[in-house]
Amino acid sequence: MEKLIVTGGRPLHGTVDIGGAKNAAVAIIPATLMADGPCVLENVPVISDVSILMDIMQEMGAEVHAMSSHSYVIDSRDIKNCEIQDENARRMRASYYYLGVGLSKFGKASVALPGGCDLGARPIDQHLKAFEALGAKTDVDQGIVYVDAGSGLKGAHIFFDIVSVGATINAMLAAVKAEGRTILENVAKEPHIVDVANFLNKMGADIRGAGTDVIKIRGVSSLKGAQYSIIPDQIEAGTFIAAAVATGGNVKVNNITPKHLETIISRMREVGAEILVDEDSLTVTRKSVLCATNVRTMPHPGFPTDMVPQFSVLLSMAEGTSIITEGIWSNRFRYADELRRMGASFTVDGKIAVISGVERLQAAPVMSTDLRAGAAMVIAGLCAQGTTEVSGVEYIDRGYEDFVGKLSRLGADVKRIQIPDPVSELAAIG
Ligand code: UD1
């Protein structure tokens, strides 16, 4: 087991390079299976969710060759079916993309029901609705989801009842080779939806409209291997912007797509950041004392739910009272107790949090309750008086590449330490 030891009080200074987008990578890696030849992926983030997916690909029979730390050749031609029922599948939410991929490539798939961060109920009814509309039979038995296209998938007109990132991508994956035309309405518009569509189009798919409310797909008979570079991670960029503002530092954030960060940048300016945007980088400093604000999370281009914990740390130290209304997940505020332990005034009622800013946070032992909450605890530790211990590092590793290294190079006092596992300690004594 490991912990992060964070000593507060040092403003961040310097330059940080943002890696490839986790939520694009976790869809694009499974999608390589649909190609009739090898794919080359570049700008792949070094995070544990990617390692799990690469393990799944290899266990299925793919040849995965790392060309460098961030680029891979994946040759899936030897994969013969898409049955993923082991623990790896349950370790991450995105394993559900193998349902759409398997339907498209083999006409059927079975995947152990996905896990991921506990952010509240995470149903997949909209994924199954799309598969069924395309003509597949679906079944869930003992925690395994089965999908079967029978004599083949047929294009359909699908209107999603709610806007879902995962269901939009899964429907695209299943429909690219379905016979005829598919129209997906009320779809998610996140940058990674566009990235997955661009990758599929590079493989020979015919997808239009990704990034708008309506996606139109003409089925193609086959997909070829492609070389593709994954977009920068807007949430990782947002996290470093938040860390720079929170500590009152001055940081250049490199390798970003400013368009994907518009909402985050505008809300950061509102709470006191000065942000100068360049072509593929930005520079962020703190212009004034932190000011309270109200924010509501929404699907893209709204304020992203995955930035709520990091933004809460800023609001915890802002002058005045802020209200966050969470529009996506019922369990987003699980970290509230942890921030309270650090002295924040943070009241939660269902999907609404009321935060009254305090002058300074105090160090405390805290836990990462999920991926983004883990990053937020580290940011809080960077601002707090004293030394904060953050446990649950494995959550942070799921989605942040070299978080400790990147923060340290910006001058943060953060260390990763091994803590003895109580069971093996006892065994050693015995
Ligand atoms: C993705 C992101 C996650 C982010 C979330 C919202 C990945 C791997 N993860 O998660 O980081 O927080 O988008 O931006 O990309 N829902 C249903 N039925 C469904 C599917 C979803 O009711 O079939 C609900 C969910 O419970 C949630 C909302 O729809 O309330 C949005 O979920 P969705 O966009 O699907 O999130 P994920 O794709 O799981």
* C-alpha span between 200 and 217 (Å, rounded): 11
**Cis bond upstream, residue 422 (ω within 30):** no
Distances (CA, A) of 208 to 34, 197, 198, 213, 252: 19, 8, 9, 11, 34
Q: Whose CA is nearest to atom 33 of ligand 1?
A: 164
Q: Is 169 near ligand 1, meaning CB less than 6 Å away?
A: no
The best mutation among 52, 96, 140, 162 to test binding of ligand 1, ranked by most ligand atoms within 8 Å of the C-beta, falls on 162
Which of 241, 243, 245, 244 has the alpha carbon at shortest distance from 260?
Answer: 241
Can you say whether the dihedral through the CA atoms of 72, 76, 82, 88 is positive or negative? negative
pLDDT of amino acid 422: 64
Q: Say yes or no: 323 and 385 in one domain.
A: yes
Residue tagged 């609001």 (tokens): 315
| Domain annotation covers residue 429 | no
Q: What distance lies between CA 41 and its chain's CA centroid? A: 18
Looking from the CA of residue 124, the nearest atom of ligand 1 is 23
| Domain annotation covers residue 417 | yes
| Token reading at 17 | 């390079």
| Domain annotation covers residue 264 | yes
Q: Residue 239: CB partners within 8 Å, gap ≥ 6?
A: 307, 310, 372, 375, 379, 400
Of 170, 203, 229, which marks where a domain is finished? 229
Q: Is 162 near ligand 1, meaning CB less than 6 Å away?
A: yes
* C-alpha span between 35 and 75 (Å, rounded): 9
| Token reading at 241 | 């912007």
8-state DSSP, 319: B
Q: Residue 264: CB partners within 8 Å, gap ≥ 6?
A: 234, 237, 238, 241, 303, 304, 307
Q: Whose CA is nearest to atom 5 of ligand 1?
A: 165
Written as one letter, the residue type at 391 is: S
Distance 166 CA to ligand 1 centre (A): 6
| Token reading at 1 | 């087991």
| Token reading at 129 | 């609705």
Q: Residue 337: CB partners within 8 Å, gap ≥ 6?
A: none
| Domain annotation covers residue 152 | yes
Q: Say yes or no: 258 and 286 in one domain.
A: yes
Q: Say yes or no: 164 and 273 in one domain.
A: no
Q: Is 138 near ligand 1, meaning CB less than 6 Å away?
A: no
Q: Say yes or no: 92 and 186 in one domain.
A: yes
How many CB atoms within 10 Å of residue 77? Answer: 14
* C-alpha span between 172 and 114 (Å, rounded): 19
Distance 126 CA to ligand 1 centre (A): 10
Q: Is 297 near ligand 1, meaning CB less than 6 Å away?
A: no
* Domain hosting residue 360, numbered range: 2-19+232-423
pLDDT of amino acid 430: 44
Each residue's pLDDT, cut to its tens digit, for the chain (430 residues) gives 899 999 999 999 999 999 999 999 999 999 999 999 999 999 999 999 999 999 999 999 999 999 999 999 999 999 999 999 877 777 777 889 999 999 999 999 999 886 655 555 568 999 999 999 999 999 988 888 999 999 999 999 999 999 999 999 999 999 999 999 999 999 999 999 999 999 999 999 999 999 999 999 999 999 999 999 999 999 999 999 999 999 999 999 999 999 999 999 999 999 999 999 999 999 999 998 999 999 999 999 999 999 999 999 999 999 999 999 999 998 899 999 999 999 999 999 999 999 999 999 999 999 999 999 999 999 999 999 999 999 999 999 999 999 999 999 999 999 999 987 766 555 444 4
**Catalytic center residues:** 117
The best mutation among 29, 95, 122 to test binding of ligand 1, ranked by most ligand atoms within 8 Å of the C-beta, falls on 122
Q: Say yes or no: 381 and 344 in one domain.
A: yes
Distance 302 CA to ligand 1 centre (A): 14
Q: Say yes or no: 285 and 196 in one domain.
A: no
Of 174, 197, 229, which marks where a domain is finished? 229
Per residue in 321-330, pLDDT tens? Answer: 999 999 999 8
Q: Say yes or no: 51 and 167 in one domain.
A: yes
Angle between helices 308-316 and 371-383 (to 10 degrees): 20
Q: Say yes or no: 44 and 189 in one domain.
A: yes
| Domain annotation covers residue 112 | yes
Q: Say yes or no: 182 and 236 in one domain.
A: no
Q: Whose CA is nearest to atom 17 of ligand 1?
A: 123
Q: Say yes or no: 398 and 291 in one domain.
A: yes
Q: Is 164 near ligand 1, meaning CB less than 6 Å away?
A: yes
Residue 141: strand pairing partners: 144
Q: Say yes or no: 301 and 389 in one domain.
A: yes
Residue 159: strand pairing partners: 185
Q: Is 234 near ligand 1, meaning CB less than 6 Å away?
A: no
pLDDT of amino acid 120: 52
Looking from the CA of residue 165, the nearest atom of ligand 1 is 34
Q: Is 23 near ligand 1, meaning CB less than 6 Å away?
A: yes
pLDDT of amino acid 166: 96
Q: What distance lies between CA 282 and its chain's CA centroid? A: 21
| Domain annotation covers residue 85 | yes
In sequence order, what DSSP letters do the residues of 117-144 get, joined into one string?
---S----HHHHHHHHHTT-EEEEETTE
In sequence order, what DSSP letters do the residues of 79-123 get, joined into one string?
----EE-SHHHHT-GGGGHHHHHHHHHHSEEEEEPP-----S---
| Domain annotation covers residue 430 | no
Distance 419 CA to ligand 1 centre (A): 34
CB 113, CB 103: distance < 8 Å: no
| Domain annotation covers residue 428 | no
Q: What distance lies between CA 170 and its chain's CA centroid? A: 16
Q: Using the CB atoms, write b or e for 67-76: b if 16+ within 10 Å.
A: eeebbbbbbb
| Token reading at 95 | 């394993």
Q: Is 129 near ligand 1, meaning CB less than 6 Å away?
A: no
Of 183, 213, 229, which marks where a domain is finished? 229
Q: What is the domain count for the chain?
A: 2
Q: Say yes or no: 141 and 288 in one domain.
A: no
CATH of the domain at 253: 3.65.10.10
Can you say whether the dihedral through the CA atoms of 107, 178, 196, 167 is positive or negative? negative
